[in-house]
Chains A and B, each alone.
Chain A
Amino acid sequence: MEKKKITIALAGNPNVGKTTLFNAITGARQHVGNWPGVTVEKKTGKRTYKDTEIEVVDLPGTYSLTAYSIDEVVARDYVVEEKPDVVVQIVDATNLERNLYLTTQLMELGSRVVIALNMWDLAESRGDEIDTRKMEDFLEIPVVKTVANRAEGIDALLEEVVREADKGEHHEHEVSYGDDIEKKIIELEKIVGKDSALSGKYPVRWLSVKLLDGDENILEKIEGSSVATQVNSVLSTIKKEDYEAAMAEKRYETINTVLPQVCVKCIKGVTFSDMIDRAVTNKYLGIPIFLAMMWAAFEVTFTVATPLMEFVDMFFGWLAGVVAGSITNPVLGSLLGDGIVAGVGAVMIFLPNILLLFLMISLLEDSGYMARAAFVMDKLMYKIGLNGRSFIPLLMGFGCNVPAIMATRTIEDEKDRLVTILVNPFISCGARLPVYLMLAGAFFGRQAGSVIFGIYILGIIVAILSAKLIRGTVLKGKPSPFIMELPPYRLPTLKASAIHMWEKGSIYLKKAGTIILAGVVFVWLLSAIPAPGVDAAFASEEILGTEDSLIGVLGHIIEPLVAPLGFDWKVAVALVFGFIAKEIVIGSMGVLYGTGEDEDALAEILTAGAMNPLTALGLMVFTLLYVPCIACVGVVKKETGSWKWTLFMVAYGTTLAWIAAFLIYRIGTAIGWGL
């Protein structure tokens, strides 16, 4: 049987035992020459391991892969242009911080890397405790302990090298350079990507990073490119020295966050940040801790807001009284009282929840925890075919899907981005919260918080499964690398978090004053116009919100579509108007059931027989999954640039919603639950 052939390159800092390891691997089968065009020694050798013939290339020893020395240029050109199957980086276990700097650069090159943690015995003898499993988790690179001068760990290293070369998919972690630099990187990536000769030969992100790094060698390569003018125009807007320093600092910042997690004694002191990171990034505890923190945030959002909601309710009750008492014109009185005050009031009552939810998310973001959550979720995201970067837009979806979908612009890979956009509407936004709060409060009492939390979890599960399905079928491919960003923890200030809360919460207020106001007035109008053939006055008591109004006719037309889910025509109408904005669902129900802004009265009518716990749960799930609001659909069209994908998202979500609500109602009825 013919042996499989692979090529591996040995990279590493000077004096880390690279040549010793090269000798240990290849023995006497070596060839010494020069790298083409330069007087740098090139050593190659061969080794057969099991059924694989391995060609080993010894790269010049370098501290980094910038273009400061010919050694560095030779090393990186080989990795980028010759594309060895695996790059083995020899890391001095007694000097991790300096050695990992080169690792961050190899990661950027997109190479398959295996770390040979050399001089392991020395590190151990001086008491260092290096957790190689953790190191693998953080870097997404296999790590093998070696002692090159005693030829220890060579077989294990070769085993890992062969496995890495055979691996179908290759997931990478990369350094994040912070918002400002990342924006420039993305800008450059878009420009450089247009030159197919360059982008076909070099990783586009790496080229962009190097350009911002002021890498002379890459700048020369760009000069001959068709995109040189555009690149230079971007570079003219930055101060190269500052960027270079800032980028080096970011690489060390990442290393210094990872280091305490992988080796306690390799560092001089332990900070509280290091201690927190050890637990919250734990392989087994990381995700449960994240879920627990999210539950705490939701508990505050739902429970603590209750008295504040009562105050808002009291205010709108008072306002409704004032309107009723001071306006004598019945039509105007009905428009203001039953339409505007009732509809907008029914939405405004949830402002405390929305503000508290945003405050909680801001506190978690400002503390630095959310960046860890993204890191912890990366493995899971990768498994479902998404990039760790997709996690932040998905998380933002808990606030509002519109900015969340816009935030996917930071995802470079088009397929990753498209999948993140398509599943984002399943993450339950703040606008859907009023529907859950009203229904869960009415039907599930003290369990309401847990039911709502369950709905949020369902949204996450549906998003995950949908991403997996889409990634495995229509958008096949490998997710792009995860950009690691682990800023130090900070005690969030109430002022900064309150400002963030207000920035996001004010969007809800604006919406209440514009689109929701218009929506509820439209609903009121339809409910005030008599149906054809009905002899009644416009906005009269006997037709307002009844089957004899125009809205009643509309409701009955669409009722057969939702009847199998246990919903009546009023719910059908409310769901249709929920397309304008999800908050309108409750506002519409208030108008249609004739309870105005009085949530308690609406809850009373619903629990008295208009609905049951099954249909209430079904309606919550339907609201979670069906077509998102018009603003969200608009932004999906804008960001995907495709009606095909937009319509796919609408049809897919609505079909899922219908099936889920149907199953809840039918299975629940069959087993007699909640009836």
Chain B
Amino acid sequence: MANTNKMIFAMVVGILYVVFGILKMLEGFGIETGLAESLLIPGDFFGGFCFVVIGAVFLYAVKELSAGVHMGVSYVYVGILMSLVFMAVYLLVMGADLLMFYAVKSEDYEGWRIIDSMRPGIYLGLLSLIGYFYWKDRFTTEMTKV
């Protein structure tokens, strides 16, 4: 049961990361998906590639868990860690934008709003944050029991 929850979580988050990653890559290539504005997706090929990698890590967990490999939970854990690392990166970028607006008062940041620096890496990372605090130490303790 514990692994079923993790598998569902990994599937949902994995698909989201892969889809958002592909959208970022397409936008990076200059292909307009029509979703960039509503989902705050910037065009960024390599950033999109990283999202696809995170998604692939989650989906690998689904592959292993569905095959009954208990250690597949490792991929859920690493997927969560990676998405938290990327969330931290985008929060740091947001902090840099804040400094550019308030401290540097750069002309390029005229009319800047905090939402302009909101990236999918931040709001998708929230899902991982929930997963992390929900399972936390249970990742290893449940592994040991199986």
A272/B144 in contact, CB under 8 A: no
Contact B93 A304 (CB under 8 A): yes
Report yes or no: A276 in contact with B104, Cβ–Cβ below 8 A: no
Per-residue CB proximity of A433-446 to B under 8 Å, as 1/0? 00000000000001
Q: Which of A278, A289, A450 contacts B74 (CB 8 A)?
A: A278
Q: Which of B1-9, B32-40, B76-84 contacts A (4 or more CB under 8 A)?
A: B76-84
A293 close to chain B: CB less than 8 A: yes
- CB of B23 within 8 A of chain A? no
Give residues of chain B (39-79) contacting chain A, Cβ–Cβ below 8 Å.
Answer: 42-47, 49-50, 53-54, 56-57, 60, 69-71, 73-75, 77-79
* A window 270-284: CB within 8 A of B: 270-272, 274-276, 278-280, 282, 284
Interface residue? B130 (CB, 8 A): no
Q: Is the CB of A300 within 8 A of B89?
A: yes
Check: A299 CB closer than 8 A to any chain B CB. yes
Q: Is the CB of A278 within 8 A of B46?
A: no
**Chain A hits for B70, CB < 8 A:** 264
Q: What's the Cα separation between A303 and B121 when bound, in Å?
A: 15
Classify the interface of chain B: helix, strand, loop or mixed: helix
A269-B140, A453-B46 known; A307 vs B69 contact (CB < 8 Å): no
Our pick among B42, B53, B106 for the contact of A446 (Cβ within 8 Å) is B42
Which residues of chain A are near B79, meaning CB under 8 Å?
A: 279
| Contacts A289-B53, A450-B47, A453-B46 given; does A275 touch B104 at CB 8 Å | no
Please tell me if the beta carbons of B74 and A279 are within 8 angstroms of each other in the complex: yes
Q: Which residues of A contact B49 (CB under 8 A)?
A: 288, 291-292, 295
Q: For chain B, which range describes its interface: under 10, 10 to 19, 20 to 34, or 35 or more residues?
A: 35 or more
List which B100-121 residues lie within 8 A (CB) of chain A: 100, 103-104, 106
B96 at the interface (CB under 8 A from A): yes
Q: In the bound complex, do residue A304 and residue B95 qualify as a contact, i.e. CB atoms below 8 Å apart?
A: yes
Chain A interface residues toward B at CB < 8 A: 129, 264, 268-272, 274-276, 278-280, 282, 284-285, 288-289, 291-293, 295-296, 299-300, 303-307, 310-311, 446-447, 449-450, 453-454
Interface pair A264/B71, CB less than 8 Å apart: yes
Inter-chain contact A307/B57, CB cutoff 8 Å: no
B2 to chain A, nearest CB (A): 14
Shortest Cβ gap from A68 to chain B (Å): 35
Q: Kindly identify which residue among A272, A278, A303, A450 contacts B140, using a CB–CB cutoff of 8 Å.
A: A272
Residues of chain B lying within 8 A (CB to CB) of residue A269: 140, 144
A202 to chain B, nearest CB (A): 40
Q: Given A289-B53, A450-B28, are A279 and B78 neighbors across the interface (CB < 8 Å)?
A: yes
Is A275 within 8 A of B78, CB to CB? yes
- Rounded to whole Å, the gap between the CB of B82 and the closest CB of chain A is 7
B31 at the interface (CB under 8 A from A): no
A516 to chain B, nearest CB (A): 25
Contact A293 to B85, CB < 8 A, known contacts A271-B140, A276-B77, A450-B44: yes
Q: Is A307 a contact partner of B78 (Cβ separation < 8 A)?
A: no
Assess the B104–A270 pair: CB atoms within 8 A. no
Instruction: A288-B53, A300-B93, A307-B103 given; name 15 further pairs at CB < 8 Å.
Output: A275-B71, A276-B77, A278-B78, A279-B79, A280-B78, A285-B53, A288-B56, A289-B53, A292-B53, A299-B47, A300-B92, A310-B106, A450-B28, A450-B44, A454-B46
Given the known interface contacts A296-B86, A299-B89, A300-B92, the answer about A275 and B46 at a Cβ–Cβ threshold of 8 Å is no
Interface centre among A129, A271, A278, A291 (most CB of B within 10 A): A278
Task: Evaluate contact between A447 and B106: CB separation under 8 angstroms.
Answer: no
Chain B: CB-nearest residue to A313: B104
A279 contacts which of B75, B85, B100 (Cβ < 8 Å)? Answer: B75
Task: Please report the C-alpha to C-alpha distance between residue A447 and residue B47 in the assembled complex, in whole angstroms.
Answer: 10
* CB closest residue in chain B, given A289: B53
Q: Can you identify 8 A-B contacts, CB atoms within 8 angstroms?
A: A129-B69, A270-B140, A272-B140, A276-B78, A291-B50, A292-B54, A311-B103, A447-B43
